[in-house]
Amino acid sequence: MKLTPVMEKFILHWGEMGTRWGVNRSVAQIHALLLMSPQPLNAEEICQILSLARSNVSNSMKELSGWGLVKTVHVLGDRRDHFTTLKDAQETFNIIVEERKKREIDPTLAMLKELSAELDTDKNADKEVKERINNMLSFLEMMTSWYDKMKKLPNSTLVTLVKAGTTIVKLIGKG
């Protein structure tokens, strides 16, 4: 496959953005390439298009699979693995949010709960520190319980909600 200038720009931008999100450039570039590619691509093709080492692609595919962003598919009469990614922005977003929650928010919640418990049994614990830990803990709990409810809704309902925007505020009689 030959990259069009548009594809190339997209891939390069995605690669740079990836680095800001703790995803390495190769991984993000491969994801971007698969987003643009009309067909699934095999590892060899990815190497060639992005000028990456075969081993790098192999590891990157594992990383992307770990995020649930890439699927391995097969082409009739071809032994090699081929890769595709979800093409819908909203679904992609949902997956990334879910993964980040699992990797970053959940451990933080666990840590805060632990600390909160420790502070409860400690008589000379600083009151302010206690307050702040609990403030953080309840904020995160509020957010995650909201998130858990929202993720049960179908995407179409979410879109309706988001588009309704602040008219909801009027319905609920606040603001």
- Which residues sit at the interface with DNA, rule CB under 7 A? 19, 24-27, 42-44, 51-56, 58-62, 78-81
Q: How far apart are CA 59 and CA 39, in angstroms?
A: 21
Selection from its own copies, DNA, none that 24 binds (CB < 5 to 8 A by kind) is DNA
- Phi, psi for residue 170 in degrees, rounded to 5: -70, -45
Element (H, E) at 121: none
**DSSP-based three-state secondary structure for 67:** coil
Q: Which amino acid is at 175?
A: G
Closer residue to DNA in complex, CB, 39/145 = 39
DSSP result, 35-52: HH-SS-EEHHHHHHHHT-
Chain contacts with its own copies (rule: CB under 8 A): 4-7, 9-10, 13, 17, 19-22, 35-36, 38, 87-90, 93, 103-104, 107-108, 111, 114-115, 118-119, 122, 125-126, 128-129, 132-133, 135-136, 139-140, 142-143, 145-146, 149-150, 152-154, 157, 159-166, 168-169, 171-172, 174-175
